Structure 1
Amino acid sequence: QQRSALAGLYDATNGNEWDNSTSWLSDAPICEWYGLDCNNDDEVIAISLTMNGLQGSIPSELGFMINLELLDLDFNSLTGSIPSEMGFMINLELLDLDNNLLAGSIPSELGLLSNLERLDLDYNLLAGSIPSEMGLLSNLEQLYLGTNLLTGSIPSELGLLTNLEHLWLYGNLLTASIPSEMGLLSNLERLDLDYNLLAGSI
């Protein structure tokens, strides 16, 4: 199943045009393929293909790689939407998809990633509202949603993210007032709400 999901990623993102695709789809052990790390059971736990010339969409079957702890596909040219199936990646601790061309809405299923510590979707074309389910990410320390096309209000549920240290929502089209629940973020070190359409009092 790992090989099938990885082959799907390769095919969906124009793998033959990647900057580095060493050993991909070869007979070499999967753990020797470029950008992959495995645990002692030869299960892939990390995919890091940052700045590697990926073009195309993220295939839904990638979501079934449930042993993944790190998925870093930032600084590529990925298009399409974020698959809701990524909510199955329950061991994921870091998800970096920033600096791509991803569109559509942020799937509410990402709220199922209870081990997630960092979610970076900065610099894409994501639209719609911020899902209230983001408030379920109790281990989240860094949430970056800046420079997208997000609308609606900041969900009060973000105030439940008591481990949050960085919250960047700058450069969107967010409206309404800043929810008072944000005052519950006792570990917050950096908050950036610049360049939105927020109103009301602080």
Structure 2
Amino acid sequence: MASTGVVLQLNLRNNGLAGRIPEELGSFSALFFLDLPDNELRGSIPATLGGLTGLRGLRLAGNGLEGEIPPELGNLALLQQLALDQNLLEGPIPSEIGNLGDLRTLNLISNRLTGSIPAALGDLSSLSWLGIGYNDLTGPIPAELGRLASLRVLSLAGNDLSGPIPTALASLGNLSDLELSSNDLSGPIPSELSDLTSLARLRLNSNELSGPIPSELASLGSLSDLVLSYNDLSGPIPPELGDLPELETLYLGSNALTGPIPPQLGSLASLTRLDLSANRLSGPLPGEFAGLSAPRHGGPDRQPVACRSDSRVSGAP
């Protein structure tokens, strides 16, 4: 409370609150933050909240909210965080959300949202975290998302998105996490993703991607997780992947990869998880793999590599 008795922040998170969000909250004109996550609230999000023009944070995650996201939320010009994840929201993502020029975080994960991703989200010039995964979204990934120059995390996993991975995403120079798994994406992995020099986690598994694994991905010196399993990738495993100094997880299983296992993978000093299973690999198991269980980078407590390969390889390191 301010000295005038005007409510500036309302934080009621993690209680047992039930029922509907009162429409009267829209009359709290001086409110900066409205935090109601992790309760048992039901019903729809009141459109009257769009009148809280001074609001910086709106967090309603972890409830049982239903209905559509009110387009009136696009009037909250000063909003920096919008967290509506883990509810039962349905219908489209309003294109009006693209009006929120100060928005840093948009989290709509784990709802029942449908329709396409609005191209207007590419207008969120301040956005650093975009999570709209685990919904029922369809259609292509808009190339306009490549305009989000401040974006660090892009999570679109667990939808029904289709079409190719836009090469425009390679313009996201600050991106550390690209999570596109469990969709219906097709076509090749763009070699242009090698321009994402800040990338630490690249997860493209469980799609319909085809063609070779781009050797250019070896230039991603900060990469710790490369997960490409359960696609239709073909051709050899690029030996250049052995040049990734920070790689901890390499999952290439359940593709159509051919040829020998590159001995250069034995040089991955940080590797702890390796899955090459269910491919068409052949030839011997490289002797260089013996070093993967040795306590090199990471000190004496480094864990041995968990390795899976049920392809046609023979021999032992």
Q: How far 1:32 sits from its partner (Å)?
A: 4.5
Write the deviation string for residues 94-150 of structure 1: whole angstroms up to 9, x where unpaired.
000000000000000101111100000010000000001110110000010000000
User: Match for residue 85 of structure 1?
Assistant: 168
- In structure 2, how many angstroms separate the alpha carbons of the residues matched to 1:48 and 1:75? 11
Q: Structure 2 counterpart of 1:151, which letter?
A: S
Matched residues, number: 182
Q: 1:104 to 1:28 in 2, by over 3 A?
A: same
Q: 1:171 to 1:20 in 2, by over 3 A?
A: farther
The partner residue of 1:106 within 181, 189, 202 is 189
Secondary structure class of the residue paired with 2:174: coil
Q: Is the 8 A contact 1:66 1:91 kept in 2?
A: yes
Q: Which structure is higher in strand share? A: 2
Q: 1:49 to 1:138 in 2, by over 3 A?
A: same
Write the deviation string for residues 140-172 of structure 1: whole angstroms up to 9, x where unpaired.
000100000000000011011110000000000
Write the deviation string for residues 53-85 of structure 1: whole angstroms up to 9, x where unpaired.
211100111112111000000000000000011
Q: Which runs of 4+ in 1 moved over 6 A?
A: none
Normalised to the residue count of structure 1, the TM-score between the two structures is 0.84
- In structure 1, how many angstroms separate the alpha carbons of the residues matched to 2:225 and 2:156? 17
Q: How far 1:33 sits from its partner (Å)?
A: 4.5
Q: How far 1:28 sits from its partner (Å)?
A: 2.2
| Structure 2 portions without partners, runs of 5+ | 1-66, 85-96, 98-102, 106-124, 286-317
User: Match for residue 59 of structure 1?
Assistant: 142
- In structure 1, how many angstroms separate the alpha carbons of the residues matched to 2:218 and 2:253? 19
**Alignment root-mean-square deviation, CA:** 2.1
Q: How far 1:185 sits from its partner (Å)?
A: 0.2
Secondary structure class of the residue paired with 2:199: coil
- In structure 1, how many angstroms separate the alpha carbons of the residues matched to 2:72 and 2:264? 47
Q: How far 1:21 sits from its partner (Å)?
A: 4.1
Alignment of 1:32-181 (within 5 A): 32-34=81-83, 38=104, 43-181=126-264
Normalised to the residue count of structure 2, the TM-score between the two structures is 0.54
User: Match for residue 198 of structure 1?
Assistant: 281
- In structure 2, how many angstroms separate the alpha carbons of the residues matched to 1:179 and 1:66? 36
- In structure 2, how many angstroms separate the alpha carbons of the residues matched to 1:25 and 1:171? 43
For the pair shown, which has the larger CA radius of gyration, 1 or 2? 2
By relative contact order (CA 8 Å, sep 6+), the higher-ranking structure is: 1
Q: 1:149 to 1:167 in 2, by over 3 A?
A: same
Q: Structure 2 counterpart of 1:163, which letter?
A: E
Question: In percent, how many aligned pairs have the same letter?
Answer: 40
Q: 1:170 to 1:67 in 2, by over 3 A?
A: same
- In structure 1, how many angstroms separate the alpha carbons of the residues matched to 2:136 and 2:75? 23
Q: Structure 2 counterpart of 1:38, which letter?
A: R
The partner residue of 1:31 within 51, 68, 80 is 80
